[in-house]
Chains A and B, each alone.
Chain A
Amino acid sequence: MLTDLLTKMLGPEHADVVAAIRVFVAVNILVAFVAGSAVFFIWLERKVAGRIQDRLGPTRVGGKFGWLQTIADGIKLLVKEDLIPGAADQMLFRLGPYIAFCGAFMAFVALPFANGWVAKPLSIGVFFMLAVMSTEVFGIILAGYGSGSKWALFGGMREAAQMVSYEVPMALCVLVPVIVAGSMDLNYVAKQQDWLWKWYVFHDPFTFVAFWTYFCCATAQCKRAPFDLAEAESELVAGFHTEYSGLRWSFFFMAEYGAMFAVSGIAVNLFLGGWNIGFLPNELQAMMGVFANLIGVVVFILKAWLLVFVMMWVRWTLPRLRIDQVMMTCLKYLLPISCVLLLGVSVWQAFVPVILARIVGYLLCALTIGGLGWVVFNLFTITTKLPVSGVPNLWTPGGSAKDLAKT
């Protein structure tokens, strides 16, 4: 769209200038989006953490909900002293955060936010995203080694082993909807899912399980809890980013939130219908033109934010796994499961008759939506039962500590 506008303005002989401007604008939009998302996520993380821990989270900066807390955090990080340990390898220490951030950010180049709105449409979109996100490991290794401290080195090595191991089941789970769709182009895959029952998460039992397995692997890949050995304050001080302070540390966290959004974006595009609301077919979208694209962008971002919110929710709910448990989960459980899923979906695509597949698809969709609806309904209507304890009158209104003293 922008290309056509600029071509009209500048004339077709300046096609190279048009392309350069388009590249520049696309990159700037992506960087602004990633940075804005990171700002939002930091605030969201603290609020979610607070609420799950039965407290409020930031409420002071910027009004009742602490909207500007991230800005305050950012200012604090900017004015912190830039310490580099004496034993650190100067070049590698400085290089680590940038490599991690580049790895996480480059994946956005192939991520479609709406129908046709991709920075670079690649026919190997999802493969490119996975490949580029795998270069983030090296930033972690350099950070761990270059810090010159043994805690950082241990944390970095463990983290690198974890990230590299979890790439394998993640790629296998990504292959499952790719086999169903027939293409690795994320734009094409998301376009196939315009009706709610066509979403690949409901397509067959294998893709259903693949969605959850992929989500587990993606959580581990982003070093989020319960797989967050790198940030395990109780074990390794802070893992590979122990010696980083101020702006360098914030680069790691922009990389982490960027990677979280990228893997959530992949999950949304592959499994959850991408930018489609679920009741707007492709023909109607084509008629609505740019307006449908704008709705699509909003829907996509909301879905990806929902998945990131689930990652944060899981982080503050589940306890942390040990490193051997982390590796065992990957190699002994998730890897065989994803191999079975790959085999299963290939068999399903090749041998199951179309009618049966459609029926299973509709059934899965109905069951899942029904189940979700039942849960939401119960959340709103179920009466709260007070906890029952062995002490009479303790929790009822009017009870007091005196009753406690009686027993």
Chain B
Amino acid sequence: MDFLYPLAFWLFAALIAVSAIAMVVTQNIVRAATWLLFTLAGVAGIFFLLGADFVGATQLLVYVGGTLVLVVFGVMLTAQGPFINLKIGAGEWAIAAAVGLGFFSVLAYVLVGFEPKVPANVAVRQAPHKAEQPLAVGAAAGSLPLADNPETRSYHSLASAAVLGEALLGFEKTAPDSPVTGVRDIVTVGPGGTSSQVKIVKERTKMAYLLPFEIVSLHLLVVLIGAAYLARSKRRRGATS
């Protein structure tokens, strides 16, 4: 897939760039919402390319199918007639363009050639699409694919979503060595340093996000109550203007 992956990446990147810039430039609020839709869909595509299936699907479900629909409902409720096109003066456009370009060039200057720090005992990440091929090197699994192997059947069935779920709940170690989509392998090199001792496991050590998960749930509850209260229909008092 040596040309498919970069092709897909550049297509999504072009979609995101064009949509984001169009969203800034357009004056019509409903068209801005449409460009936002394309931007979010492009970002979901980027997530799928990065192998984060669950996050990409959540982005589509929650952001596009939820938040964006909410925003568009807000637009429909408030933008009638004169409010659909609110124009800005040319001077403001010039300042906005200058600030935007300056900001982006600063960020780009920092980011180009950025290499993350890698701990010594963890091998360099392979190309992303290779994570989806079945075990090739040092396959520790049995000969049967894990879904058909009776011992591991029920465990393999908990694939990438389970890894995320167990991370949320904070299990110490999970080791489904199976062709999972959505989570990449960690290739650890054995003590001898040769590739023959490469073990592909997914070990989670002390990843517990249960507390943030609960906090976010409470937060959502508070938000629901607050939004319902804020947006309630108030009784009109008398015939004022």
Indicate if A touches B (C-beta under 8 A). Answer: yes
Contact of A135 among B28, B64, B72 (CB under 8 A): B64
Residue among B3, B65, B181 having the largest count of chain A Cβ atoms under 10 Å = B65
- Interface residues of A, dominant DSSP: helix
Say whether B64 contacts A134, CB under 8 Å: yes
Which residues of chain A from 123 to 160 have any CB-CB distance to chain B below 8 Å in the complex? 123-124, 127-128, 130-132, 134-135, 137-138, 141-142, 145, 153, 157, 160
B171 CB to nearest A CB, Å: 16
CB of B58 to closest CB in A, whole Å? 7
Is the pair A160, B69 in contact by a Cβ cutoff of 8 Å?
Answer: yes
Whether a CB of chain A sits under 8 angstroms from the CB of B53 is: yes
Partner pick for A141 among B61, B69, B157, CB 8 A cutoff: B69
Q: Does any Cβ of B come within 8 Å of A191's Cβ?
A: yes
Number of B positions contacting A (CB below 8 A): 34
Interchain nearest-CB distance for A169 vs B (Å): 15
Q: Are B65 and A20 in contact (CB under 8 A)?
A: no
Tell whether, in the assembled complex, residue A188 and residue B31 are in contact, meaning their CB atoms are under 8 Å apart: no
Which of A179-187, A239-247, A324-332, A377-385 lines the interface with chain B? A179-187
Interface residues of B in 145-161 (CB under 8 A from A): 147, 154, 157-161
A135 to B62, CA, bound (A): 10
Would you call B4 and A184 a contact (CB within 8 A)? Answer: no
Least distance between A100 CB and chain B CB atoms (Å): 12
**Which residues of the partner chain B approach A157 to less than 8 Å between Cβ atoms?**
73, 76
> Which A residues touch B76, using CB under 8 A?
145, 153, 157
- C-alpha gap A182/B72 in the complex (Å): 36
Contact check, B1 vs A20: say whether CB atoms are below 8 A apart. yes
Q: Quick check: is B128 within 8 A (CB to CB) of the other chain?
A: no
A20 & B3 in contact (Cβ 8 Å cutoff)? yes
Q: Does A89 contact B (CB under 8 A)?
A: yes
Can you list, as one digit per residue, whether each of A191-220 has a CB less than 8 Å from chain B (1) or not (0)?
A: 100000000000000000000000000000
Q: Which of B47-76 contact A (CB under 8 A)?
A: 53-54, 57-58, 60-61, 64-66, 68-69, 72-73, 76
> In the complex, what residues of B have CB within 8 A of residue A135's CB?
37, 41, 60, 64-65
Q: Is A81 an interface residue (CB 8 A)?
A: no
**0/1 per residue, A75-92, Cβ < 8 Å to B?**
000000000000001011
- The yes or no answer to A372 lying at the interface (CB within 8 A) is no
Q: Does A343 contact B (CB under 8 A)?
A: no
Is A290 an interface residue, CB under 8 A from the partner?
no
Contacts of A181 in B (CB 8 A): 157
Q: How far is the CB of A103 from chain B (nearest CB, A)?
A: 9
B34 within 8 A of A: yes
Q: Residue A367 at the B interface, CB < 8 A?
A: no
Whether A23 sits at the interface, judged by CB under 8 Å, is yes
> Does A141 lie within 8 Å of B72, measured CB to CB?
yes
In the complex, whether B180 has a CB less than 8 A from a CB of chain A is yes
Taking the nearest CB of chain A, how far is it from the CB of B20, in angstroms?
A: 17
Pairwise interchain contact B1-A16, C-beta atoms closer than 8 A? yes
In the bound complex, how far is the Cα of B182 from the Cα of A19, in angstroms? Answer: 19
Q: Which of B2, B66, B159 contacts A16 (CB 8 A)?
A: B2
Cα of A23 to Cα of B7 in the assembled complex, Å = 14
Q: Within 8 Å CB of B4, what residues of A?
A: 16, 19-20, 23
B130 to chain A, nearest CB (A): 10
| Cβ of B168 under 8 Å from chain A | no
- Are A131 and B58 in contact, with the CB atoms below 8 A? yes
Asked if residues B34 and A142 are in contact (CB atoms below 8 Å), the reply is yes
Q: Are A188 and B68 interface neighbours, CB within 8 A?
A: no
Contact A138 B159 (CB under 8 A): no
Task: Tell whether, in the assembled complex, residue A124 and residue B161 are in contact, meaning their CB atoms are under 8 Å apart.
Answer: yes
Distance in Å: Cβ of B133 to nearest Cβ of chain A: 10
Residue of A nearest to B37 (CB): A138
A306 within 8 A of B: no
**A43→B10 CA distance, assembly (Å):** 42
Q: Cβ of A130 and Cβ of B61 under 8 Å apart?
A: yes
* Contact with A182, one of B31, B41, B157 (Cβ below 8 angstroms): B157
Q: Which of B41, B64, B69, B158 contacts A183 (CB 8 A)?
A: B158
- 18 additional A-B pairs beyond A16-B1, A122-B181, A188-B157, beta carbons within 8 Å, are A16-B2, A20-B4, A99-B37, A124-B54, A124-B182, A127-B54, A127-B161, A132-B60, A135-B37, A135-B41, A135-B60, A137-B69, A138-B69, A141-B69, A160-B72, A161-B73, A181-B157, A182-B158
Q: 26 A–B contact pairs at CB < 8 A?
A: A16-B2, A16-B3, A19-B4, A89-B30, A91-B34, A92-B34, A99-B37, A123-B159, A123-B160, A123-B181, A123-B182, A128-B53, A128-B57, A131-B57, A134-B60, A138-B64, A138-B72, A145-B30, A145-B76, A157-B73, A157-B76, A161-B73, A164-B65, A181-B157, A182-B157, A182-B158
Report which A residues bind B (CB closer than 8 A).
Answer: 15-16, 19-20, 23, 89, 91-92, 95, 99, 121-124, 127-128, 130-132, 134-135, 137-138, 141-142, 145, 153, 157, 160-161, 164, 167, 181-185, 188, 191
A-B pairs with the 4 shortest C-beta distances?
A134-B65, A123-B159, A183-B157, A131-B61
